[in-house]
Structure 1
Amino acid sequence: MPESRSSITRRTTSWSRRLFAAALALPLAAAGLVAGTAAPARAAAPAGPTASVALGDSYISGEAGRWKGNSVVTGGNRAGTDRAWTGSAYDPSRVYGTTYASGCDRSDTAEVRSAPTVAQTQINLACSGAVTANVFRAANGGQSLKGEAPQADQLAAVAGQYNVKLITLSIGGNDLGFGDVIETCVKDYLIWYSYCNDDQQSAVDARMAGAMAGVGKALDEIRAVMAGAGYAAGDYRIVLQSYPSPIPRAAEMRYPESGWSRSDTGGCPFWDGDATWARDSLVPQISRSLAGVAAAKGVQFLDLSDMLQGREVCSKATRQATSTTAPSATTSEWARFLDGGLNTSQGTVQESMHPNYYAQLGLGRCLTLLFGKASGDWACRNTAGQDANGMYLTAK
């Protein structure tokens, strides 16, 4: 059961203050690679080369691709989990390229790049922190983000140069305030004797209609761009995807609710009730809402709500890497823990609670499998004890 307020106050040491500060800064993210302006309309789609394009937020940009699992080891390559380690220093641009400087954080293993057989060219236009307005064309209310033009305008330039075959969109989480939900739940665990799920459910419900309207408009904007570039409806496909849960339900947490191992070791500072609500209520609710938009707009839907099942942060089925146990795609966590709760922060807070390197390979595998499905809605799932090659789809 949750500890008393006086006990929590006594335990608010330097590491918990850092984690609290980290939570306050926690955004939801997303990322991309090409910026540009709208291309003039064409009489027909370009002949080639073919391209697969990712649009949206941090869950498709590749945020957290730096990390191969999690570890409390803070030095060197962090028990083999930190891909930014050069042997003498940390260089996140090894993973995120030039987008690390802007904060878009498009990783080298982002979903679109981990599905190389879908098209000859993989183009990531997503950016960490994007909301639906960052997808719209500037001429139709679109907003720039982190020094880049709205993503639909970037897509126009891509569509004029490449023969775009697949556009995958992940958006809406930031419109719903998913980052605010995580921040509030972490604060309620660390500081207050309370739960977050009641008031946060109300907050999400209040934002849902507006967020889904924004997702629908983003899909309309994508279609308008493609039509303006000369594409017929059958020349390309659009996939709208949902979000996976980065934390497990209470029954699958490997750290006890009492004490402080969830925060200072596990990086999953959530009460049991809040964890189960997030995993079994919030994430499925968002997925159902996005599926409804996909159906209304006539695009394919990829359900990711169970994609990390058994691979979440603090899941009993996984373990952290140690100085004697290397990270592994079959045993490590597939999501980034909440950074900042350790004695020192290992990376950036915005990477927290996002699919990591292993998960991004898995997402790429599911996208590859989906491209082989000409129609229908599908759910992406993993196979326990296997790497990305064990990913499979089930019909919705």
Structure 2
Amino acid sequence: MARSRWWLGALAFVGVSLLVAVFVLVGEDGPPPGEPPGPPGRGPLTVVALGDSTMSGEGAGDYTPATNGRNGNWCHRSPNASVHHVELTGIVKSVNLACSGSPAGHVALGDVEQWTEQSQARRLATLVENHRVAAVVVAVGANDDPHFSRLISECFTSWFMDDGSPCSERIKTDWPSRIDRMVPKVVAALEDVQKVLAAAGYDREDYDLVLQSYASPIGPDIPESLRNLDGCPFRKEDLRWVKYTGAISLAAGLREVAAQTGVRFLDLSRAGDGHEACTGGADPSSEWFTRFTVQWDDLQSAERATHAIQESFHPNAAGHAQFGRCLSEFLASNDESAACLEGEDGHLHAAPSVVAQRQG
């Protein structure tokens, strides 16, 4: 009998020891069995793109048929877009909800439609039902008060008409106030993205939220032979203003948005230096932006004709690959802000803000 009690006691001691070991290893706050780390919910770890043409993939080609004019949808999403080049440990899926031409109101919650599509924040709310969102990257604001794409068109018209002052002379008079009016609209859009994820059970530390600025697609360092309809039909003064003032000050406004909303900021304002449209001269292979581009076949259809030059002066497939590379580096870092700058290897890298400002 004593011997039996001894064996029972020994077994009890071993059992308790094992339980204590499990408790120590797992901890009081350890996740329940089967619950994956990181973002809540179910589905693959995903990076999501929201915003306008610079994020949708305008200029990168191979647009998905559903967003290439079908039933009035001209969002122009491309499989070559930068979000699909993101490489980050654990992330296995990329989803592009951006739509060409979108203002901040289309990224936000609300009833705003862009090319037949509902709010991107609402679509994100549906996405999180079966995806675990690890990062959201947003590029928006240029189609609000700054009207950056329209600005490029105005400068083209100024060159074509060849009369009066350069378009930048007219634009710069109220450019700072345009950016000031843009800021609260982008702030509201980012706050709505955060609301959507909070409603889905996400804590702020469960995901990265990155606001990205815009790279200048054009600059003054191009051959005179391409400053026409064969490439980049702009006046020299306007080329300088877009690169050295327009894109830089737009980035400053978006940096303020990031500060107000507590999101990470990636500055692309100088990402295209030396690779702007037409800088390659006779060989465009080094360029990361489209030149003046006409889809001639679209001119044969009334409903497509107005979109025949939509791709012009947007990042091309090579540019998106470089932006995606820089974005990957930034997401993998702990930096709150960085700038995409070309390294000695000819590729873009995410330089911490303090380094980027020193080089600026």
TM-score for both structures, normalised by structure 1: 0.72
Which residue among 93, 99, 116 is the counterpart of 2:67?
99
1:160 partner letter? E
Question: Which whole-Å CA distance do the structure 1 matches of 2:185 and 2:262 have between them?
Answer: 16
Give 1:117 shift: 3.5
**Counterpart-to-counterpart distance in 1, 2:115 and 2:161:** 33
Pick from 258, 271, 275: which aligns with 1:307?
A: 271
| Per-residue deviation, 1:309 | 0.6
Code of the aligned partner of 2:212: Q
Structure of higher CA gyration radius:
2
Deviations 1:293-342 (A, max 9, x none): 10111110000011111000122xx2444xxxxx64xxx31101122499
Q: Distance in 2 between matches of 1:336 and 1:272?
A: 18
Counterpart position of 1:196: 167
Tell me the residue number matched to 1:264. Answer: 229
Tell me, which stretches of 5 or more residues in structure 1 are unaligned?
1-43, 67-93, 322-326
Partner SS, residue 108 of structure 2: coil
Q: State whether structure 2 residue 208 is matched by structure 1 residue 208.
A: no
1:205 Cα deviation (Å)?
Answer: 2.8
Aligned to 2:319: 359
2:35 matches 1:58: no
Aligned partner of 2:248 in structure 1 is 284
Offset at residue 382 of structure 1 (A): 2.4
Alpha-carbon contact 1:369-1:393 (below 8 Å) kept: yes
CA distance in 2, matches of 1:275, 1:144: 33
Instruction: Report the Cα offset of residue 383 of structure 1.
Output: 3.8
What is the correspondence of 1:76-87 to structure 2 with a 5 Å cutoff? none
> 2:143 corresponds to which letter in structure 1?
N
Q: Is the 8 Å Cα contact of residues 88 and 332 (structure 2) preserved in structure 1?
A: no
Which residue identity does 1:99 align to in structure 2? T
How many residues align? The count is 302
Cα deviation code 1:128-156 (max 9, x no counterpart)? 01001111112xxx412112110000000
Tell me how far apart the structure 2 counterparts of residues 172 and 225 of structure 1 sit (CA, whole Å).
20
The runs of 5 or more residues in structure 2 that have no matched partner are: 1-38, 300-304, 354-360
Q: Distance in 1 between matches of 2:250 and 2:121?
A: 23
The offset of 1:227, in angstroms, is 0.4
Equivalent AA in structure 2 for residue 110 of structure 1: A
Paired with 1:133 and 1:220, the residues of 2 have a C-alpha distance of 12
Equivalent residue of 1:363, what SS? helix
**Does 1:152 pair with 2:121?**
yes
Letter in 2 for 1:98: A
CA distance in 2 between counterparts of 1:47 and 1:376 reads 28
Runs of 4+ with >4 A deviation? 344-347
Distance 1:374 1:230 in 2: 23
Query: 2:101 is aligned with what amino acid?
Result: G
Partner of 2:131: 162
What residue in structure 1 maps to residue 195 of structure 2? 224
> Counterparts of 2:193 and 2:160 in 1: how far apart (Å)?
42
1:372 aligned residue (315, 332, 342): 332
* Contact in 1 for aligned 2:57/2:79 (Cα 8 Å): yes
Q: Compute the displacement of 1:116 (Å).
A: 4.2
CA contact (8 A) 2:102 2:114 kept: yes
Letter in 2 for 1:224: K
SS at match of 2:173: helix
Aligned to 1:336: 290
Greater percentage in helix: 2
Aligned to 2:36: none
- Aligned residue in 2 for 1:23: none
Alignment partners' CA distance in 1, 2:295 and 2:235: 16
Q: RMSD of aligned C-alpha atoms?
A: 2.2
**Residue 200 of structure 1, CA deviation:** 0.8
Query: Residues 33-64 of structure 1: CA distance to partner in whole angstroms, max 9, x if unpaired?
Result: xxxxxxxxxxx821431110000000011001
Local SS of the residue matching 1:52: strand
With over 3 angstroms needed to count, the CA separation of the structure-2 counterparts of 1:95 and 1:149, relative to structure 1, is closer
Evaluate the alpha carbon distance shift between residue 340 and residue 384 of structure 1 in structure 2; reply closer, same or farther with a 3 A threshold.
Answer: farther
- Higher relative contact order structure (alpha carbons within 8 Å, sequence separation ≥ 6): 1
CA contact (8 A) 1:97 1:107 kept: no
- Classify the secondary structure of the residue corresponding to 2:117: coil
What is the CA-CA distance between 1:264 and the residue it aligns to?
2.9
> What amino acid sits opposite 1:278 in the alignment?
V
